[in-house]
Amino acid sequence: MQKKDCFYLGKIVKKYSFKGELLIKLDTDEPELYENLDALFIDLRNNLVPFFIETSQLHKSDLLRVKFEDVDTEEDADSLIKSGVYLPLEFLPKLEGNKFYFHEIVGFKVEDANFGFVGTITSVNDSTAQALFEIDREGTEILIPMNDEFISKVDKENKTIFVETPEGLIDLYLNE
* Residues near 158 by beta carbon (within 8 Å), at least 6 away in sequence: none
pLDDT tier for residue 17 given thresholds of 50, 70 and 90:
confident
Please state which of the four CATH numbers 3.40.50.300, 2.60.40.10, 2.40.30.60, 2.40.110.10 is assigned to the domain occupying 3-91. 2.40.30.60
Largest CA distance in the chain: 61
Fold of domain 102-174: SH3 type barrels. (2.30.30)
Q: Residues of CATH 2.30.30.240 domain(s) within the chain?
A: 102-174
pLDDT tens per residue across span 148-159: 899 999 999 999
Q: Is the pLDDT of residue 175 over 80?
A: no
- How much is the pLDDT for 176? 61
Which pLDDT belongs to residue 113? Answer: 95
Amino acid (1-letter code) at residue 160: T
Q: What does the pLDDT read at residue 93?
A: 81
171 vs 95: which has the higher pLDDT: 171
**160-163/109-112 β-pairing:** parallel
Tell me which DSSP letter residue 67 carries.
E
What's the one-letter identity of residue 169? L
Asked whether the whole model's pTM tops 0.75, one would answer no
**In the chain, how many H helices and how many E strands?**
2, 12
Query: Range(s) for CATH 2.40.30.60 in the chain?
Result: 3-91
Q: What pLDDT is attached to residue 110? A: 97
Helix, strand, coil percentages for the chain (3-state, nearest 5): 15, 45, 40
pLDDT tens digits for range 71-110:
999 999 999 999 999 999 888 888 888 888 888 899 999 9
The backbone region for 138, taken as left when phi is positive above 0, alpha when psi lies in -120 to 50, beta otherwise, is left
pLDDT tens-digit map of 31-72:
888 989 999 999 999 999 999 999 999 987 789 999 999 999
Residue type for 150, please? Answer: F
The predicted structure's pLDDT at residue 171: 93
Structural contact between residues 121 and 135, judged by C-beta atoms closer than 8 angstroms: yes
